[in-house]
Chain A
Amino acid sequence: MVDLVTVEVIKGGLIYTAEEMGIALRNSSYSHNIKERMDHSCAIFDSDKRLIAQAEHIPVHLGSMGLAVKQGLSVFEGELQRGDMILFNDPYISGTHLPDITLIAPVFYRDEVIAYVANKAHHSDVGGKVPGSLAGDATELFQEGIIIPPVKFVKKGVFDREILEIIKFNVRVPDIRVGDLRAQAAANNVGINRILGLVEKYGLKNFKESTQKIMDYSERRMRNEIRKMPEGVYTAEDYLESTGVEEKIVKIKVRITINGSEINFDYTGTDPQVRGPLNAPLGVTMSGVYYTLMAVTDPTIPVNDGCYRPVELYVPRGCLMNPVKPAPVAGGNVETSQRNVDVLLKAFSKVIPGKVCAGSQGTMNNICVGGIDEENRPWAFYETLAGGMGGRPGLDGLDGVHVHMTNTMNTPIEALEKSYPLRFISYRLRDNSGGPGKWRGGCGVERSWKLISPSATLSILAERTKIPPWGLNGGEPGAKGEFYIVKRSGERVKLKSKCTVTIEKGDTFVARTPGGGGYGNPFERNPEKVLRDFLNGLVSKESARKHYGVVVRGNELDKEETMKLRQVKVLNP
């Protein structure tokens, strides 16, 4: 039997390998979205296609990858050879949306597949009706870009030229796609080599036994955590504000049942799938459940298949969280996924109140813009914007940060201005946007730029412009998001949270992202903290008075007035 120490060494070695794959992918890629924003994820699976290690990348990718590997490889049973890699992006197989292209490689030791390495990278354009491939008004999957079923894209180490040509002919900036695909293959090669190194060092038998033990270990720790939760049934619901096609709210409902060391998530009661692109394939729903579970238990448990063994999931087929093909899904991955976490956290706030934050920005604020520049070259650019994190028991929410299901970086403005016809006007925190609370919600951001080339197409896919992020335990909601264009004439045109519009040369696009909800009664917030926020320009004098009962005179606290104001509130709530 393999000893404890070898297991530990192999566990560390596998996690490290996944991280190394990520570095190779980033450093050799071509698109800003991967090289600057790191919108990609890497993971390792055992020969039964169960997750054994992952790198800390993007939760929505990671949680869905297990499903992707199982489904994507099913047609190649027994057909894989050394040096082959399988490529696909069909969300009904890969679990997320079309821009996320998955590449999986078997790891052969002698003649046996002993593991799989996989990575998922968000390509900034995969064709479809708008540059960036995130059309807020799509009504069918076919409008969202090229659909690639699982295909043997790399055969014995060589790219399949014909498949590559088909992809190149269907996307807007083909050369960059090729560079990024090459980087994805490089990442898998790094993974294969490292795993073979481990097997050679410790022997195949020890390697296999270790991977089982690694999963059992995580399972044990997760069960311990669940056992600590009070048994019972807990429900919560939250809403999407529109579907991109219909102006109606859409409900997500979850019922969590805790029973010993088992936990069940039931989405019965969630609205049916919608016409617009907000449907969340099952992979997205699963990744939200997995993320939330890790976040509210113990984030130091090594993430692998074992963590998820105590989890049972039921999502009715045909509902928003488990749609039927060919429903459009571009926004499920980026928007519905965030609302899913909001719903789950709301439910958990009833189970383990001290371990949950208030509602965070609840969106990724996807912005795609592209067109033809002055030298007649096509360009397409995609980014997501940070916002406020919800207030937490004992801590303010973080200002201007990506929350929950994503953690991509921003692209440096100096890099963007060099590559695209954009001139940035502002990038700053939004004042008065953090939800008031004893622990304030984080502030959203403002990011704006002016178009300096002929007209371009701008698509927005976002949320929380109508229903703000919720406060918790007496905290107030955060500010809603807003998007608008300031025309050359000075006219201000408000944009919907999901839209595709034409933007003209000289127009300025402004995005203002939501703040996080507050936690706890704002009248109990330490007045010194309110003063500091005021001095830093994040909370106005009026808001300090109205929301926090804190009176500021000049740059000083008026302690007496503050005390009076706060007492009145206690007397007349």
Chain B
Amino acid sequence: MSFRVGIDVGGTFTDLVALNSETGEIINIKVPTVTKKISRGVANALNEFLGFKRVRRITLLIHATTIATNAILGQLGLELPKAGFITTKGFRDVIEIGRQNRPELYNLFVQKPRPLIPRRYRFEVSERIGAKGEVIEPLKKSELDQVILKIKREGISTVAIGLLNSYINPKHEVDIEREIRRRVNGVFVSASYKVSPEYREYERFSSTVVNAVLMPIVSVYMEELIGEVKEIAGEISFYVMQSNGGMASALSICERPISMIESGPAAGVVASAYYGELLGLKNILSFDMGGTTAKAGIVIENRPMLTHEYEVGGRVHKGRIVKGSGYPVRFPFIDLAECSAGGGTIAWIDEGGALRVGPVSAGADPGPACYGKGGENPTVTDANLVIGRLNPNYLLGGKMKIHRELAERALKEKICAETGLSMEKAAMGIIKIANSEMAKILRIVSVERGYDPRIFNMIAFGGAGPMHACPLAEELGISRIIVPLNPGLFSALGLLTSNLSHSFSRAIMEKAHEIDVERVEEVFEGMESKGKEILVREGVQEGEIIYLREMDVRYVGQSYELTVTVPKPLTQGTLELVKEMFHEKHRSVYGYSVRGEDVEFVNARLTAIGKLGKPKLMEKEAKKPGGINVSPETIRPVFFEEADGYIDCPVYLREKLPNGFMVSGPAILEQYDTTTVVYPKWDAEIDKYGNVILKFRGNGF
């Protein structure tokens, strides 16, 4: 049997999910991550997988990793390479001054991230391109010669090039790039016109510098990994998940490592998009709640929503990256909002007597108090346990024993004693505060982006997602939630459902009334042929390629754009359509549009997608419609605020529930890697793939 394999390397575990392309069977393997040598952990997982009898052949291997983020944050003992930066004379500190703001307002001891390239390795050359792309001062070759000498002398292994206004005319960057490649052996080069050809010099230079710094690390990593895989499994196609949700070949990743910085988290949203397609749902709110954080993303018309503003290593505040706290990278990222609310997030009482949840997490060790591994602080998991939502005796289908009395003690000592709240009120309080933080991130990716949350179906996954989904959906006015078969492994499944994808962008900078439509059409076509070239090289048939055109548009005078889809071909007529779409979008995001006003087209964006055959999921045996009676395993009192007390809830084992089974909430569905809490006012139903579908009933209980 041949399998498609996804391998997700996280901080603690390396997950392998394999899908039998013919039968739809899924095999899951979890091994510890080998921090010192990541490829070792991957090899262990692969070896275990190949030990299965029915495994014959791996057709495709897809990989997700956090190595880029870890490198930038100085984790895992990864040392940054000696990097150099070449820029226009007078501007070598642009990447250090940044946007001149400080990331915190009132903190006198605030810190800024250290520049990735120290000042002494930032070199200047005389040259100047004007704002219209004209050459004001030619590149001074003698100065470049001096710089190249220094690069050689200092043993710099990777070079970033960023010149002012190169986004509109890259001539001098091209010249420098060529000279360096020609004269410095084995050096890595990143030029800003290639990495991020858009205006705003700081963000462009920063993206280029991050790319340059990552190139040597990622190249070595990929080489090692591919070598290891080849030894174990022979020659197989090897792909990497990018932050935009598409896959790319290892070679493309080595050239543009900034494209895979958020490789892991992207997979969850990709899985949601795939699931939506499978179930015939176009708009999905993807809600992932794990051990330490919760993440939200959206899928519109079967496509994950992307963002272009991102800072690597940045601090998150209220679900948003704090400007100036990290290193900006301009590359499409799946738009994720994140908050510190996971099963292991700790609840505490602050100095002023307020109940707080997070940001500190008990992690996996010691973990929640109920794990009995020495954790003394109450966590979200403990709160769920004491009010009956979790099985009081064990988790992981009996593999892991838990201790309700420890959870109670932690709550009593740390919360009830300080506030006078009853145990139930304290536990409910923790859950509600965590929920309100999560509601915010769900709102950031939906409402704030101009989408009415009521158009979405929610997919709830991660170990803790299905426990908290109902009240969140209710708050946002969402009436349908899907809990997939294996919520804890859902993200890794995303690796198996992704397409090959490459994103490009070019600055246009033209106003609607003076735009040269033919030129823009040519720009799009140029990007298309570039996308095609790469995809064909990666083995995709021409007929399996889809091109997605978009433009960033704004009113003349504004600085922030809205991205709208662009039809093909672009003509005077279709341009009117694009304008109309922009006005509409502006109105839905900001509450007004100004039809008489001139609009400006800032960037053209193209995504070339190489479609891969999608895996099919196995359908459960069809049962007669109308619902099937299964008696609950047990009845357990569970606290619900709606009742202001405990309600006796039926508890079911999910794997025993047949297709077509239905139950009205409140009810509890337990399974190996999660617990689904069906709230009052909600109904649960099992569909033909074994998913739980939660529907809002609304009429009390």
Which residues of A pack against B, CB within 8 Å?
A: 3-5, 7-9, 11-13, 15-16, 19-20, 23-24, 26-32, 35-36, 38, 56-57, 59, 175-176, 179, 182, 186, 189-190, 201, 217-218, 220-221, 224, 291, 294-296, 299, 301, 303, 355-357, 385-386, 389, 392, 394-395, 398-403, 407-410, 412-415, 417-418, 423-429, 445, 448, 535-538
Contacts and interface: CB of A to CB of B under 8 A. Distances in A.
B interface, size bucket: 35 or more
Contacts of B436: 8-9, 12-13
A224 B592 contact: no
Contact of A414 (B101, B164, B475, B590): B164
B100 A386 contact: yes
B642 interface: no
B94 A175 contact: no
Given A56-B104, A186-B592, 9 more contacts: A5-B433, A395-B109, A399-B96, A401-B100, A402-B102, A410-B99, A423-B128, A428-B91, A536-B119
B91 A426 contact: yes
A27 B104 CA distance: 21
Contacts of B655: none
Interface in B101-138: 101-102, 104-112, 118-120, 128, 130-131, 136
30 contacts: A4-B421, A5-B432, A7-B354, A8-B356, A8-B433, A12-B440, A16-B318, A24-B590, A26-B560, A29-B559, A31-B557, A32-B559, A186-B592, A189-B591, A217-B353, A221-B352, A295-B106, A357-B108, A389-B102, A395-B109, A400-B96, A408-B100, A409-B99, A414-B164, A414-B199, A415-B199, A415-B200, A425-B90, A427-B93, A428-B91
Contact of A412 (B101, B199, B318): B199
Contact of B429 (A5, A20, A28): A5
A12 B200 CA distance: 33
Most A C-beta atoms less than 10 A away, residue of B352, B425, B433, B509 = B352
A305 to B, nearest CB: 15
A429 B200 contact: no
A407 B592 contact: no
B594 to A, nearest CB: 8
A126 B201 CA distance: 29
Nearest to B562: A27
Contacts of A413: 91, 94, 164, 201
B622 interface: no
B258 to A, nearest CB: 20
Most A C-beta atoms less than 10 A away, residue of B91, B110, B130, B557 = B557
B440 A402 contact: no
Given A295-B107, A412-B200, A414-B201, A4 B96 contact: no
Contacts of B555: 30, 179
B247 to A, nearest CB: 32
Interface in B427-444: 428-429, 432-433, 436-437, 440
Contacts of B419: 4
A175 B112 CA distance: 37
Given A32-B559, A428-B90, A537 B119 contact: yes
Contacts of A295: 106-108
A543 to B, nearest CB: 16
A294 B106 contact: yes
A16 B560 contact: no
B167 interface: yes
A408 B93 contact: no
B295 to A, nearest CB: 17
Given A5-B428, A357-B108, A418-B199, A409 B557 contact: no
B101 A423 contact: no
Contacts of B165: 414, 417
Contacts of B106: 59, 291, 294-295, 299, 303
Contacts of B318: 12, 15-16, 19
A185 to B, nearest CB: 8
Contacts of B128: 423
B97 interface: yes
Contacts of B699: none
A16 to B, nearest CB: 5
Contacts of A303: 106
B355 interface: yes
Contacts of B96: 399-400, 429
Contact of A535 (B94, B120, B354): B120
Given A59-B105, A295-B108, A402-B102, A4 B429 contact: yes
Contacts of B509: 418
B142 interface: no
Nearest to B104: A299
Interface of B: 90-94, 96-97, 99-102, 104-112, 118-120, 128, 130-131, 136, 164-165, 167, 199-203, 318, 320, 323, 351-356, 419, 421, 425, 428-429, 432-433, 436-437, 440, 448, 475, 509, 555, 557-560, 586, 589-592
Nearest to B91: A427
Contacts of A427: 90-91, 93-94, 97
B437 A12 contact: yes
Contact of B108 (A24, A392, A538): A392
A19 B318 CA distance: 9
Contacts of B353: 217, 220
Contacts of B104: 56, 299
A221 B353 CA distance: 9
A9 B130 contact: no
A110 B201 CA distance: 49
Contact of B448 (A23, A176, A356, A537): A23
A360 B441 CA distance: 37
Nearest to B106: A299
B120 A176 contact: no
A16 B317 CA distance: 10
A34 B199 CA distance: 18
Most B C-beta atoms less than 10 A away, residue of A217, A224, A303 = A217
B556 to A, nearest CB: 9
A400 B93 contact: yes
Given A299-B107, A400-B96, A536-B118, A179 B130 contact: no
B136 A410 contact: no
Contact of B354 (A4, A186, A386, A392): A4
A401 B102 contact: yes
Contacts of B110: 398
Most A C-beta atoms less than 10 A away, residue of B94, B109, B165, B356 = B109
Nearest to B168: A414
A4 B110 CA distance: 31
Contact of A9 (B199, B421, B432): B432
A125 B104 CA distance: 28
A252 to B, nearest CB: 20
A5 B93 contact: no
A193 to B, nearest CB: 9
A20 B91 contact: no
A385 B101 CA distance: 10
B698 to A, nearest CB: 16
Nearest to A224: B351
A217 B199 contact: no
A410 B97 contact: yes
A401 B355 CA distance: 35
Contacts of A59: 105-106
A31 B560 CA distance: 11
A205 B602 CA distance: 48
Contacts of B448: 20, 23
Nearest to B586: A28
Contact of B93 (A190, A221, A356, A429): A429
B119 A296 contact: no
Contact of A27 (B97, B105, B560): B560
Contact of B592 (A26, A182, A429): A182
Contacts of B91: 413, 424, 426-428
A427 B201 CA distance: 12
Given A414-B164, A537-B119, A5 B131 contact: no
Contacts of B203: 412
